[in-house]
C-alpha cells in the first residue's frame, strides 16, 4: 500500500474479531511508534499493553460511571449519555489488545510527541490488516493513581493515547472531512 492509501484508508474500528494480535506484531507497531519525531529528541513515550479483557471491562465500567457523573459539569458529554447508560456498551469494544502510550511530563512536548507515535501505530496497524481506535473515553481512568500503580506506570507519566488494536469485524465507514480552511497563503 502506498502511504496516501494508508492515510486515506485508515478507519476507527469499533468491533473486533475474537483473536489475539500476535505479540511480535504489537512489538513491531510500538517500534514503528517510537520512530516518530520528538521535541529535543526527548522520546517521552512509554507503553503498557493490555490483553486482559476482564481488566478492560472493569476499566470500561469505571470510565462510564465517571463520565456519567460529569454530564452536568461538562455539557459536551451529554451526547454520550445513552451510550454510557447502556450496560452492554464497552468503551474498548471487546478489542483483544489495548496499547497505552504514557508520556513523561518532564518533557513539555510529551502530548505532541506521544500523539505522533500514536498516529504512526494506527497507520502501520492499518497497513498490516489491523484495525485501531483511539479511545478518549479511557483517558481519565487511565490516569487514576491506583490504576497507574497496578500497571507499573511511574507517577510523572500521563496517559496520552489509549489505542485499541485488533482484526476488524465488518467494514467501517468513511467519516467525511470538511474542506480544509486555509486562512491565508502568503506568497
Ligand atoms: C483524541 C481522540 C479521541 C477519540 N476517542 C474516541 C472514543 O472514546 N471512542 C471512539 O469510538 N472513538 C474515538 N475516537 C475516534 C474518532 O471518533 C474518529 O477518529 C473520528 O470519528 C473519525 O473517524 P476515522 O478515525 O474513522 O477517520 C477518538 C479520536 C481521537 C483523535
Q: What CATH code is carried by the domain that includes residue 47?
A: 3.40.109.10
Residue 180 lies inside a defined structural domain of this protein: no
Q: What is the pTM of this model?
A: 0.97
Residue 30 lies inside a defined structural domain of this protein: yes
CA distance 166 to 51: 11
Residue 182 lies inside a defined structural domain of this protein: no
Which atom of ligand 1 is the closest one to the Cα of 14? Answer: 11
Strand 157-166's sheet: what is its strand order? 45-50, 97-104, 157-166, 131-134
Residue 94 lies inside a defined structural domain of this protein: yes
CA distance 143 to 146: 9
Residue 187 lies inside a defined structural domain of this protein: no
Burial 19-49 (b: 16+ CB within 10 A, else e): eebeeebbeebbebbbebebeeeebbbbbbb
- Of all protein residues, the one whose alpha carbon is nearest to atom 10 of ligand 1 is 135
Residue 137 lies inside a defined structural domain of this protein: yes
Residue 185 is predicted with a pLDDT of: 98
Q: How sure is the predictor about 75, in pLDDT bands with cuts at 50, 70 and 90?
A: very high
Residue 102 lies inside a defined structural domain of this protein: yes
12 lines ligand 1 (CB under 6 A): yes
Q: Which tens digits make up the pLDDT trace of 162-171?
A: 999 999 999 9
Residue 21 is predicted with a pLDDT of: 98
Counting the structural domains of the chain, the total is 1
137 lines ligand 1 (CB under 6 A): yes
14 lines ligand 1 (CB under 6 A): yes
97 lines ligand 1 (CB under 6 A): no
135 lines ligand 1 (CB under 6 A): yes
**Helix%, strand%, coil% for the chain, nearest 5:** 45, 15, 40
Q: How sure is the predictor about 131, in pLDDT bands with cuts at 50, 70 and 90?
A: very high
Q: Say if CB 10 and CB 126 are below 8 A apart.
A: yes
- Cross-strand partners of 98: 50, 164
Residue 175 lies inside a defined structural domain of this protein: no
9 lines ligand 1 (CB under 6 A): no
Count Cα neighbours of 12 within 13 Å in the Cβ-side half-sphere. Answer: 13
Q: Distance, CA 90 to ligand 1 centroid (Å)?
A: 15
Q: Where are the beta strands (DSSP E) in the chain?
A: 45-50, 97-104, 131-134, 157-166
CA distance 77 to 34: 32
Mean pLDDT of 35-46: 98
163 lines ligand 1 (CB under 6 A): no
Q: DSSP label at 22?
A: P
Domain around 106: 3-166
Q: Distance, CA 106 to ligand 1 centroid (Å)?
A: 27
Q: Which tens digits make up the pLDDT trace of 79-115?
A: 999 999 999 999 999 999 999 999 999 999 999 999 9
Amino acid at each position: 500500500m502506498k502511504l496516501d492509501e494508508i492515510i486515506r484508508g485508515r478507519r476507527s474500528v469499533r468491533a473486533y474479531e475474537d483473536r489475539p494480535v500476535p505479540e511480535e506484531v504489537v512489538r513491531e507497531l510500538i517500534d514503528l511508534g517510537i520512530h516518530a519525531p520528538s521535541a529535543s529528541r526527548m522520546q517521552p513515550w512509554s507503553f503498557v499493553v493490555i490483553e486482559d479483557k476482564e481488566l478492560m471491562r472493569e476499566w470500561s465500567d469505571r470510565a462510564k460511571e465517571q463520565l456519567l457523573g460529569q454530564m452536568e459539569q461538562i455539557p459536551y458529554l451529554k451526547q454520550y449519555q445513552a451510550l454510557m447508560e447502556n450496560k452492554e456498551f464497552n468503551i474498548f469494544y471487546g478489542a483483544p489488545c489495548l496499547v497505552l502510550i504514557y508520556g513523561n511530563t518532564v518533557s513539555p512536548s510529551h502530548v505532541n510527541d506521544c500523539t505522533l507515535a500514536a498516529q504512526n501505530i494506527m497507520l502501520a496497524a492499518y497497513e498490516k490488516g489491523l484495525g485501531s481506535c483511539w479511545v478518549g473515553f479511557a483517558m481519565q481512568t487511565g490516569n487514576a493513581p491506583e490504576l497507574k500503580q497496578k500497571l507499573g506506570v511511574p507517577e510523572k507519566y500521563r496517559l496520552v493515547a489509549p489505542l485499541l488494536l485488533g482484526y476488524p469485524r465488518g467494514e467501517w465507514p468513511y467519516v467525511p472531512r470538511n474542506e480544509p480552511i486555509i486562512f491565508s497563503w502568503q506568497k
